[in-house]
Amino acid sequence: MHAWNCIILRRHSLSPDCTTSLWSDLDLSCSHLSSRWSLDGRLQVSHRKGLPHVIYCRLWRWPDLHSHHELRAIDTCQYAFNLKKDEVCVNPYHYQRVETPVLPPVLVPRHTEILTELPPLDDFTNSIPENTNFPAGIDPPNNYIPDTPPPGYMSEDGETSDQQMNQSMESGSPAEMSPSTLSPVSHGLDLQPVTYSEPAFWCSIAYYELNQRVGETFHASQPSLTVDGFTDPSNSERFCLGLLSNVNRNATVEMTRRHIGRGVRLYYIGGEVFAECLSDSAIFVQSPNCNQRYGWHPATVCKIPPGCNLKIFNNQEFAALLAQSVNQGFEAVYQLTRMCTIRMSFVKGWGAEYRRQTVTSTPCWIELHLNGPLQWLDKVLTQMGSPSVRCSSMS
């Protein structure tokens, strides 16, 4: 209730009718319900800062709302968040909750052979990747419509950010290919639909120091979680690395761990995965799915400065690629496994432009496995049978 009172008292620009409507029956019929941008683009309520339209939507419609990524403005709103005007609409009924799109099944030829061997998989562990800075080096497609705030915006919980670097990449996807149009031509084959299903844990996260795995795997059940350097032992929305011990930890690793701080926030919303840097130091991300979207080499490592966020996976893009790869055979589908793994280092980067050229040379890093796409791949591969190239004991 205190937060609601703070909101109402701060809305000096609202008409009496709108204020009454807000407080009584939540029927927001007034057409112009807006807030001017503050210096950092956020509104502080009860000692907590957030984007104004997110706070309003959370208070009046969706208490479980985590981020602006979960919202889309209605077409008729003249001051929608994504339009980047001097004022932003905070009418909760001018926004809609993003729904997870239903992915059409992939049609796979039925095979009865039993899979015994798998082709080798290039997971980029030992290669020297290229580097790119965020957002420099990003050349979005022609249909790219950035869903970013005006200059000066900071992420909901961010503290500092370079205004020139503070941009969001949430809407930069190439023209969508419909998986249903990319299924293999039958040619008399017995095609079986293989559907996607959401797992109980959307991702699994493992933490590494140099080339050594440390601690247990974290299984993410919540759509929003943070990986930070603190010590909460029992929070389903936090993977706290500060708790983890390692007898082989050296001084460089120890110093790096102290700078992880608030770390990175990961969102899984509407079939898309976002990474937001909450730390005072940059994070470095290697996401083959993201790299393909922007035409980079699959192993490219992208530096994300504090306060910025990047879309690192898109289920619909993956579905289109999977359906297309079925036409190319077992090996092409199996290679998509690498797209379901995302590596991320804290504070220290790696690649051709850094002293550390492999991820296993960085002091502190995590590896995400996206369980939904991996399980879908498993079902498709099982249906396809075995590779066309045989592997024998003599080869």
Give pLDDT, residue 384: 87
Give pLDDT, residue 181: 39
Domain final position from 32, 62, 97: 97
CATH number of domain containing 88: 3.90.520.10
Give domain status of residue 156, yes or no: yes
Give pLDDT, residue 4: 46
Supply φ then ψ for residue 330, to 5 degrees.
-60, -45
Would you tell me how many other CB atoms lie within 10 Å of the CB of residue 282?
A: 21
Residues 90 and 119 in one domain: no
Domain final position from 97, 126, 143: 97
Give pLDDT, residue 123: 61
Residues 82 and 110 in one domain: no
Residues 179 and 317 in one domain: yes
Q: Is the pTM of this model over 0.75?
A: no
Give domain status of residue 212, yes or no: yes
Residues 17 and 83 in one domain: yes
Give pLDDT, residue 57: 84
Give pLDDT, residue 8: 47
Q: Are the beta carbons of 82 and 94 closer than 8 angstroms?
A: no
Low-confidence ranges of the chain (pLDDT < 70): 1-49, 111-127, 134-189, 388-395
Residues 189 and 305 in one domain: yes
Q: Number of folded domains in the chain? A: 2
CATH number of domain containing 191: 2.60.200.10
Q: Is the dihedral of CA 334, 335, 337, 339 positive or negative?
A: negative
**194-247 confidence digits (pLDDT tens):** 999 999 999 999 999 999 999 999 999 999 999 999 999 889 999 999 999 999
Domain final position from 79, 97, 115: 97
The CA distance from 121 to 33, in Å, is 54
Residues 257 and 123 in one domain: yes
Supply φ then ψ for residue 212, to 5 degrees.
-115, 130
Find the domain containing 207 and state its range: 106-384
Give pLDDT, residue 79: 81
Give pLDDT, residue 214: 98
Q: Are the beta carbons of 299 and 286 closer than 8 angstroms?
A: yes
